[in-house]
Amino acid sequence: MVYITDLSKRSRIKITGQGTEEFLQSICSNDLKALKQGFGLKAAFLDRFGKVLAVSSIYKVDDWALLESDLLCHAKLLKYLSERSEFAKCKVEDIKDAYKLFSVIGFQDGFMDLKLEKNQIIQKQLGPGIALIAKNCFLSRLDFFIPTEYSDGFPEFLYRKEGAEQVNTEEYEKFRIEQGIPEFGKDYDESYIVLELGLDGLINYEKGCYTGQEVVARMKAYSGQIARKIVKLSFSPESLVGREDKLFKDGKEAGIITSIGQGLCLATVKKDFFEGGTELQSSKGVLKVL
């Protein structure tokens, strides 16, 4: 089945101006200079201690950049970017009100006759407006950024054209957890360093200096040893496992559950317990690290 969900509460930020690429290159963890026009990449924004301020999909769209991120990091990320853009030749703009975000999951190649490559973004006429359509950089999600004034009825349009059923936030959460993608404010906060998120492809270790790089490089030099990590675990769907349940191994506290799906969850697990196959115990059942 193909499903559509309204993710318009998520963060959407636009950066324009001739200094956009240099600006983002100096403050994010991935290499924008190697990114082709019309494509996106995963990146993290860090403070000088290597702690995570936000994790974003960054797309190059013509002469500007689109950042798509979690809801609860929006205000701080917008403030962080706006303050630093004063010293760069670019402008930072909150476009949450300008574009609605609808995401399609369960789609196949050729959906709506689209032929997008991995992480690609295009502009396409949909009805009276020009939409941005992107393959999300983190999840198997097709994102439609629809101008707000033309967004009414878009889910119904996709249902008529492609049979896309609307799903609620709870169903989308199951999908996110199944894909193993942590969310800011639910699974981690600003106390986490980027390596603790358990996300691949966020960091380019060859690029030049960026905020937080020294800490990241030092961690890599020590073989990436970290005190904790966000992992996905499986459990019996009949178990009454809940968010914020503590996890144990041989009587030792091993971690805490942060997001719950259908027989799967995300949890922050301590160093000695996050290897795949490790079995952990909660007060309500046994879980296995995947």
The pLDDT of residue 183 = 99
pLDDT per 10-residue tile (average), the chain, 290 residues: 96 97 97 97 96 98 97 98 93 98 93 94 92 98 97 93 92 97 98 95 92 89 83 92 95 97 97 95 94
* Domain assignment present for 115: yes
- How buried is 110 (Cβ within 10 angstroms: 0-12 exposed, 13-18 middle, 19+ buried)? exposed
Token couple for 63: 């002469």
The pLDDT of residue 222 = 72
Query: Both 154 and 21 in a single domain?
Result: yes
The pLDDT of residue 135 = 98
* Domain assignment present for 174: yes
Residues 6+ positions from 70 with CB-CB distance below 8 Å: 10, 11, 54, 55, 183, 184, 185
Q: Where are the beta strands (DSSP E) in the chain?
A: 3-6, 11-16, 40-46, 52-61, 64-69, 91-94, 99-105, 121-126, 129-135, 141-147, 165-166, 228-235, 246-249, 252-260, 264-270, 279-282, 285-289
The pLDDT of residue 223 = 60
Query: Both 44 and 151 in a single domain?
Result: yes
- Under 8 Å between Cβ of 52 and 118: no
Domains in the chain, number = 2
* Domain assignment present for 141: yes
* Domain assignment present for 183: no
Query: Both 232 and 122 in a single domain?
Result: no
Q: Which of 178, 210, 239 is where one domain is finished?
A: 178
* Residue 70: CATH number of its domain: 3.30.1360.120
Query: Both 143 and 280 in a single domain?
Result: no
Query: Both 169 and 247 in a single domain?
Result: no
* Domain assignment present for 210: no
* Domain assignment present for 213: no
Domain that holds residue 259: 227-290
Q: Which of 163, 178, 193 is where one domain is finished?
A: 178
Query: Both 100 and 231 in a single domain?
Result: no
Residues 6+ positions from 54 with CB-CB distance below 8 Å: 11, 44, 45, 69, 70, 73, 76, 77, 80, 184
Query: Both 153 and 287 in a single domain?
Result: no
- How buried is 52 (Cβ within 10 angstroms: 0-12 exposed, 13-18 middle, 19+ buried)? buried
Query: Both 31 and 158 in a single domain?
Result: yes
* Domain assignment present for 212: no
* Domain assignment present for 64: yes
Query: Both 42 and 170 in a single domain?
Result: yes
| Nearest C-alpha neighbor of 114 from the set 143, 78, 154 | 143
pTM of the model: 0.95
* Residue 248: CATH number of its domain: 2.40.30.110
Q: Which of 142, 158, 178 is where one domain is finished?
A: 178
Query: Both 53 and 148 in a single domain?
Result: yes
Strands 3-6 and 165-166, by their bridges, are parallel
The pLDDT of residue 268 = 99
The pLDDT of residue 86 = 85
| Nearest C-alpha neighbor of 194 from the set 26, 40, 30, 20 | 30
Query: Both 163 and 98 in a single domain?
Result: yes
Query: Both 279 and 167 in a single domain?
Result: no
